[in-house]
Chains A and B, each alone.
Chain A
Amino acid sequence: MFMIGPIGFTVPWLLLGLLVLPLLWILLRAVPPAPIRRRFPGVALLLGLKDDESQADKTPWWLLLLRMIALAAVIIGFAGPVLNPKSEHAGTGNLLILLDASWADAANWQARQDRLNSLLEEAARAGRPTAVVALTDLNTGALPFQAADVWQSRIAGLLPAAWGPQDPGEWAENLAQEESFETYWLSDGLKRPMRANLLKALESKGTVTVFESPRAIYGLKPARFADGEIRLMATRARADSTAELTVSALGLDPAGVDRALARTSLQFPVGQTEAEAVFTLPSELRNRITRFAIAGIRSAGAVSLTDDALRRREIALISARAEREGLQLLAPLHYLRKALEPTADILDGALDDILPANPDVIVLADVAKLTESEKASLTEWVKNGGLLLRFAGPQLAASDLSRNREDELMPVRLRAGGRTVGGAMSWGAPKKLRPFSPESPFFGLTIPDDVEVTAQVLAQPDPTLSSRVIAALADGTPLVTRKKLGQGQVVLFHVTANAQWSTLPLSGLFVDMLERLAVSTRPAAPDAQELAGTRWTPEKQLNGFGELGDSGMLADVTGERIATGEAGPDLPPGIYSGEDRSLAVNVLNAKTKLAPTAWPARIQVEGLKALRETGLKGAFLAAALLALMLDILAALWVAGKLRGPKSGVVAGILVSLLVFPSPGHSQDTTDAEAFAIEAAAQVTLAHVLTGDAQVDRVAQAGLVGLSDVLFRRSSIEPGLPIGVDIEKDDLSLFPMLYWPVTVAQPHPSDIAYAKLNEYLRKGGMILFDTRDGNVAGYGQSTPEARKLQALALPLDIPPLEPIPEDHVLTRTFYLLQTFPGRYERPIWVEAAPADAVKVEGMPFRNLNDGVSPVIIGGNDWAAAWAVDARGAPMFPVGRGYTGERQREIAYRFGLNLMMYVLTGNYKSDQVHVPALLERLGQ
């Protein structure tokens, strides 16, 4: 095939047509553009006028060039250009195709298979005996040379392993017995120590060609937990460019669905092969994480499994006495807190609040009194596998808990009073601890000399006592007792959790003991010494693509093997469970360094991409067509048809094709700014525009009337009221929104509701007015009331109640008991908290702090407030003097309302007036 660069031609002789182009140039140049004929009566005036110059009689050069290009494109197009035409790898003799087939290959496995396929195809065409060997899964014995098409049918089942290539020492030695062969090596692109030797062995047999993708390879190292954050190191082989990756933390969500629980991104700067991702997650979420993965990379190396090292237990600490300031070191929980904080998440709160959170451990420090319900739920929690850790103390010693009959939540019965040894007023020295017995979970811990017990509660010598003691003092009295209860257990330390009764909490032994009780977890992965002699059962296993599956019937693995940290066929990456914890084995360990391969210069390295043949005929012909289109326009232009009369039509079509109108935003923003300035310059009353012109007009007039009254009677001097479009206006500028409810008004959009909720949450208030005087009616509802229900449904509105007599609204400015508009009906406000009680001698209850976010009524206030342009009332209210009185009260309600909105519960503080007066009197 005739080739120019990467482009070949199927019909190259057609290219000779290009020789005609110069001839055409001369021909075309001689022909001027065709004239336009125009009827024009003014021609009589034109007669005799001569052209200044005779320039336009030749086609301009650029137009010619355009036509030449079009023609050239046509000629080249028909000559059948093909990009990257297939060229054959010729070769004879045996062929070995070697694959790394490691986790690094998995991300790009399809391309590798395609390449392998095309290599096999070539080999099949050449009839070469071929062997395909994966370095992660080496065959034994001689190389499996077979016909290439046999291999072709088998490569679909070839999968990458989740580990790196094995050391092919023996296998490479065996190669010496083979006949000579050529080698194609599909490398994964990572530097490995075994490559040099293997390459030498292969080269002794024939030429070696390496296929390698220059694609970046990313890996994720195991997660570490430090300072409340999860830190993950991502690494890559090449550092020649910046890269940004997203790392997801995956796990089961509360619905049991495996999904990304958190995401974070990390950046590799140029020259750096490592980058760190940091997750800061609440412990609830953190404990759910099963693995981390680099998003979008399908490879076992891009997955990092987590085990117990990341899991932090939730421990609830509960003590009987409220802690007082300044007594930190005496606080019953201080030492526990210090001991547990580094390794566990600590929950504080009342028992009732904590139990639903289902903590792993509940610590009761010197708690003797539990209510029946607390006791029942606590018992159930323990039976379901909870660990209840109790500490003794003065209160426990003084109580009758577990005195005569063993309490369910105590491991032993206690004798009254407890004992004190080695104190100032007693004989004998403080007691030491007896070494732990082999049955005790504490066995093996060394007991420091300075651990002394000066006081303790004593257990009754029951038959079960000896089996329940797991630590004792030197004189044999129990120090720690334990009882199984259901699936859980109850553990009692017979001393206090602080340093009052013993020095145990001050020693390192305390922390170790808590750890042995599985109260706290070991912060770091076990070292080789710890792993020695243990056996681990595979639970879950990663495949090469980074998918987690069951391990099936894989054999147990020894702790020593796990301690090496190198995944391999005998230690596939996955989760392994031991006696009391699980361990994750990852593809990469903390020490792994990725580096790109460095092949010797004599080795030919080819890209992995099998270059695909691309026919360019279509592209060239399309280009020719485009050039011809341009030529039409250009010819029109040269001939003046784009400029003369009616050119507007052509130009219009062109412009409409080329220019898309973009909506102007600048206008909107300036409008919004002007609106904000207007609304924020003064206190501004606002009403929600309903779309009903009459209602909006009345609302506006009503707020004008109210503004006038406010201006005259109080220090509130509002500006002109504003009608607010809740869809687009900024609500935060208004202290209060008056919302007349009409049946026909449209529902606000979700965005508007979000804005309204935000407004209510930030202290705004909405006065809903159904204007029907009937909202408080029993059982019946008007259309407006139903509309109001529909409108307010998505709003964040607290429970409501009819306004109580002592509500702040009754006394913020005027003393009021009714809140009439044109009608006089009760209104609804946020309900007072249930625990607000009226104190004897106080006029009002001490009510809730905030301002009611909504006030709902149907009294048609706007109509009562409304004034026309001359300031006269627009609508009659009631009859005669009574009606005017009602209007006056309506204005007073408006005043109280605005005061309530602007000053909050300030007037509520009148509760304290008697007390203040009393103090002043003294």
Chain B
Amino acid sequence: MTSTAALRRDAGVLAGSLPPLLAHAERLAATVVLGDHGRRRAGQGDEFWQYRPAHEGDEARHIDWRRSARSDSHFIRQKEWQAAQSVLFWVDNGQSMSFASGKALPQKGERARVLALATAALLLRGGERVGLLGHDAPPRAGEMQLAPLAEALMEGGDQTEYGAPAFSGLRSNARAVMISDFLGDMAPIETALTHAANKGIGGVLLQVLDPQEEAFPFDGRTIFESMGGSLRHETLKAGDLRSRYLQRLADRKASLAELARMTGWQISCHHTGDSASAALLWLYRILEGAR
């Protein structure tokens, strides 16, 4: 039972954090100059595409009289085909995503949300429909969709150590963007991807890692704990584990790449220590180029 006061407080917190997230995402999105978004073919849309001579069978109402009056033949004014596509995002909100190795570095989850929202903003501007998997945010078009998306992204995680992708709202002919650190169990991911591939859904996997997770700069007697504290591993000489850990990480990346290759998805790895715009560009290029 949520009291009114608690609700108002939560709303305040949410409203407080939303604008920065939105602003951050907008700022990030602004770094990408939107190119030509049309399908480069005639079709349904608002933008003028071309005039073409009228054929048999063209409806008279399609004839552009203004253009036709300037010549002897009739012309039909065609619009550019602007078919909207659904892009569904899944952002891991497991506890492992709330890790940041330094004060100057953002949390992995934070970076993932910003990237997702910025990509969404770009796509929305391009006229696509954007939705969020696992939340009550079905794909919709229009800039107004951004606010509900941000709200949904800010919702608390499911408090599991490592998030598993939800594919409840996945529909065919959509595209999916999955952002996670992919450090947890591989099985749910495999299932989800296979499922998506079976439905003919293409998409993008973006692995977000902290630089410390790549470098493993530890030494001495150490107890490693997961963010939630449920997993732990004690070692006497952490330095000795480094090479084996790195090997395992490389194996994980390789198996992800293999999985992506088999299902026809694109995959990339982003580090929170790097600039977010590089990852955004990559995401946007893949999503735009593939359609």
The residues of A with any CB-CB pair to B shorter than 8 Å are 32-47, 49, 51-57, 638-641, 643-645
Q: Is the CB of A43 within 8 A of B218?
A: no
Contact B236 A55 (CB under 8 A): yes
Minimum distance in angstroms from A512 CB to a CB of chain B: 99
Cβ-defined partner of A49 (8 Å) among B219, B225, B245 = B245
B233 CB, min distance to chain A CBs, angstroms: 5
Bound together, the chains give a CA A638 to CA B236 distance in angstroms of 11
- Contacts A51-B235, A52-B240, A55-B236 known; A38 to B184 CB distance under 8 Å? no
Query: Which chain A residues border B216 with CB–CB below 8 Å?
Result: 42
**Which residues from chain B contact A39 at a C-beta distance below 8 Å?**
99, 225-227
B241–A33 touching, CB < 8 Å: no
Contact B96 A41 (CB under 8 A): yes
Which residue from A41, A43, A56 sits with its C-beta under 8 Å from B236?
A56
Main secondary structure of the interface of A (DSSP, over half): loop
Alpha-carbon distance A625/B101, docked complex (angstroms): 35
Q: Is the CB of B220 within 8 A of A41?
A: no
Contacts A46-B224, A49-B244, A640-B221 given; does A41 touch B183 at CB 8 Å: yes
Contact, CB under 8 Å: A43 / B233:
yes
User: Is A46 a contact partner of B241 (Cβ separation < 8 A)?
Assistant: yes
B226 and A43: CB pair below 8 A?
A: yes
A38 adjacent to B218 (CB under 8 Å): yes
With a cutoff of 8 Å between Cβ atoms, the chain B residues found around residue A46 in the complex are 224, 233, 235, 241, 245, 248
Given contacts A41-B210, A42-B245, A49-B244, contact A644 B220 (CB under 8 A): yes
The answer to whether B213 has its CB under 8 Å from any CB of chain A is yes
Find chain A residues with CB under 8 A from B249 CB: 42, 45
Distance, CA A641 to CA B221, complexed state (A): 9
Q: Flag if B217 contacts A38 (CB, 8 Å).
A: no
Cβ contact within 8 Å between B238 and A640: yes
Contact with A along B98-119 (1 / 0, CB 8 A): 0101100000100000000000
Q: Which of A33, A44, A49, A53 is in CB contact (< 8 Å) with B221?
A: A33
Q: B215's closest neighbor in chain A, by CB?
A: A645
A38 with B221: in contact, given A56-B236, A56-B237 (CB under 8 Å)?
Answer: no
Please provide the chain B residues from 71 to 99 with a CB less than 8 Å away from any CB of chain A in the complex: 96-97, 99
* B225 near A44: Cβ-Cβ < 8 Å: no
A215 CB → nearest B CB, Å: 57
Given known contacts A45-B183, A49-B233, A40 and B225 CB-to-CB distance under 8 angstroms: yes
B236 contacts A40, C-beta separation under 8 Å = no
| In contact, A38 and B224 (Cβ under 8 angstroms) | yes
The residues of A that contact B184 with a CB separation of less than 8 Å are 44
Given contacts A35-B220, A41-B210, 11 further A-B contacts (CB under 8 A): A36-B221, A39-B227, A41-B96, A41-B99, A45-B252, A49-B235, A49-B241, A51-B241, A56-B237, A639-B220, A640-B219
Q: In the complex, how many angstroms separate the beta carbon of A29 from the nearest chain B beta carbon? A: 16
Nearest B-chain residue to A42, judged by Cβ: B213
Which residue on B lies nearest to A37, using beta carbons?
A: B223
CB distance from A26 to the nearest CB of B (A): 21
Q: Is B46 an interface residue (CB 8 A)?
A: no
Which of B181, B220, B232, B235 has most A Cβ within 10 Å? B220
Q: Which one of B102, B226, B237, B239 lies within 8 Å of A41 (CB-CB)?
A: B226
B265 at the interface (CB under 8 A from A): no
Which 10 A-B residue pairings sit nearest by Cβ, starting from the closest?
A: A640-B220, A640-B219, A41-B96, A35-B221, A643-B219, A43-B224, A45-B248, A46-B233, A40-B224, A56-B236
B17 at the interface (CB under 8 A from A): no
In the assembled complex, the CB of B241 is this many whole angstroms from the nearest CB of chain A, namely: 5
**In chain B, what residue has the closest Cβ to A35?**
B221
Contact at B213–A644, with CB atoms within 8 Å?
Answer: no
**Is B212 at the interface (CB under 8 A from chain A)?**
yes
Tell me, rounded to whole Å, the shortest Cβ–Cβ distance linking B219 to chain A.
4
A-B contact pairs, 17 of them (CB 8 A): A37-B222, A38-B223, A40-B218, A41-B96, A42-B183, A43-B233, A44-B185, A46-B235, A49-B241, A49-B244, A51-B240, A55-B236, A639-B220, A640-B222, A641-B220, A644-B219, A645-B218
Which of A41, A55, A639 lies at the interface centre, i.e. has the most chain B CB atoms within 10 A of its CB? A41
Report how far A643 CA is from B233 CA in the complex, Å.
20
Expressed in whole angstroms, the Cα–Cα distance for A800 and B232 within the complex equals: 92
**Minimum Cβ distance to chain B for residue A183 (Å):** 71
> B124 CB to closest chain A CB, in angstroms?
31
User: Which of A35, A55, A639, A643 neighbours the largest number of chain B CB atoms within 10 Å of its CB?
Assistant: A35
Contact A645-B212, Cβ < 8 Å, known A41-B183, A46-B241, A640-B220: yes
Is B162 at the interface (CB under 8 A from chain A)? yes
Residues of A within 8 A of B99 (CB): 39-41
In the assembled complex, the CB of A637 is this many whole angstroms from the nearest CB of chain B, namely 9
Given A42-B216, A644-B217, decide whether A51 and B237 contact each other with a Cβ distance below 8 A. yes
Contact A44 B162 (CB under 8 A): yes
Q: How far is A41 from B208 in the complex, measured between Cα atoms in Å? A: 12
Could you tell me the distance in whole angstroms from the C-beta of B122 to the nearest C-beta in chain A? 29
A56 touches B241 (CB 8 A): no
Tell me how far the C-beta of A648 lies from the nearest C-beta in chain B, rounded to whole angstroms: 10
Chain B residues with CB under 8 Å of A55's CB are: 236-237
Q: B237: shortest Cβ distance to chain A, in Å?
A: 5
Q: Name B218's contact: one of A41, A54, A56, A644 (CB within 8 Å).
A: A644
- Chain B min CB distance to A63 (Å): 13
* Partner among B183, B220, B224 whose Cβ is within 8 Å of the Cβ of A56: B220
Residue A47 contacts which of B102, B218, B233 (CB distance < 8 angstroms)?
B233
Asked if B234 CB lies within 8 Å of chain A CBs, one says: yes
User: Which residue of A is nearest B181, CB measured?
Assistant: A41
What is the CB-to-nearest-CB distance from B85 to chain A, in angstroms, rounded to a whole number?
A: 33
Query: B183's contact among A33, A34, A44, A639, by CB below 8 Å, is which?
Result: A44
Closest to B249 in A: A45
What CA separation (Å) do A641 and B162 show in the bound complex?
Answer: 28
B231 CB–A CB distance under 8 Å: yes
> Complex: how many Å from CA A45 to CA B244?
9
Contacts A638-B220, A639-B220, A643-B219: A43 and B231 contacting too (C-beta < 8 A)?
yes
Assembled-state Cα–Cα distance A641/B184 (Å) = 28
User: Which residues does chain A contribute within 8 Å of B239, judged by CB atoms?
Assistant: 640, 643
- Kindly state the separation between the CA atoms of A7 and B30 in the bound complex, as whole angstroms: 80
> A39-B99, A51-B240, A57-B236 are contacts. A645–B217 as well, Cβ < 8 Å?
yes
B231 to A35, Cβ gap below 8 A? no
Compute how far the CA of A640 lies from the CA of B219 in the bound complex, rounded to whole angstroms: 5
User: Which residue from chain A places its CB closest to the CB of B212 in the assembled complex?
Assistant: A645
Contact for A640 among B108, B218, B227, CB less than 8 A? B218
Q: How far is the CA of A46 from the CA of B183 in the complex (A)?
A: 11
Of all chain B residues, which has the CB nearest A47? B233
Note all chain B residues with C-beta closer than 8 A to A57.
221, 236
**With A41-B99, A51-B235 as contacts: A36 and B220 at CB distance below 8 Å:** yes
A439 to B254, CA, bound (A): 130
Answer whether A47 and B231 are a contact pair too, CB < 8 Å, given A41-B183, A645-B217.
Answer: yes
* Contacting residues, chain B, for A643 (C-beta < 8 A): 219-220, 239
B116 CB → nearest A CB, Å: 19
A32 to B245 alpha-carbon distance, docked (Å): 24
What A residues does B217 contact at CB under 8 A? 644-645
Q: Please measure, in the bound complex, the distance between the C-alpha atom of A46 and the C-alpha atom of B232, giving whole angstroms.
A: 9
A38 touches B240 (CB 8 A): no
A915 to chain B: closest CB distance in Å? 89
Give every chain B residue within 8 A of A45 (Cβ-Cβ).
183, 245, 248-249, 252
Which of A35, A42, A53, A54 has the largest count of B CB atoms less than 10 A from its CB?
Answer: A42
| A645–B211 alpha-carbon span in the complex (Å) | 11
Q: Smallest CB–CB gap between B244 and chain A, Å? A: 6
Specify which of B102, B210, B222 is in contact with A35 (CB 8 Å cutoff): B222
Q: Determine the distance from Cα of A36 to Cα of B233 in the docked complex, in whole angstroms.
A: 12
Q: Given known contacts A51-B237, A57-B236, is B231 in contact with A44 (CB within 8 Å)?
A: yes
> Which residue in chain A gives the minimum CB-CB distance to B244?
A49
Digitize B111-137: 1 where CB-to-A-CB distance is under 8 Å, 0 elsewhere.
000000000000000000000000000
Q: How far apart are the CA atoms of A645 and B99 in the complex, in Å?
A: 15
Chain B residues contacting A42 (CB-CB under 8 Å) are: 183, 213, 216, 224, 245, 249
Given A41-B227, A640-B219, A51 contacting B236 (CB threshold 8 A): yes
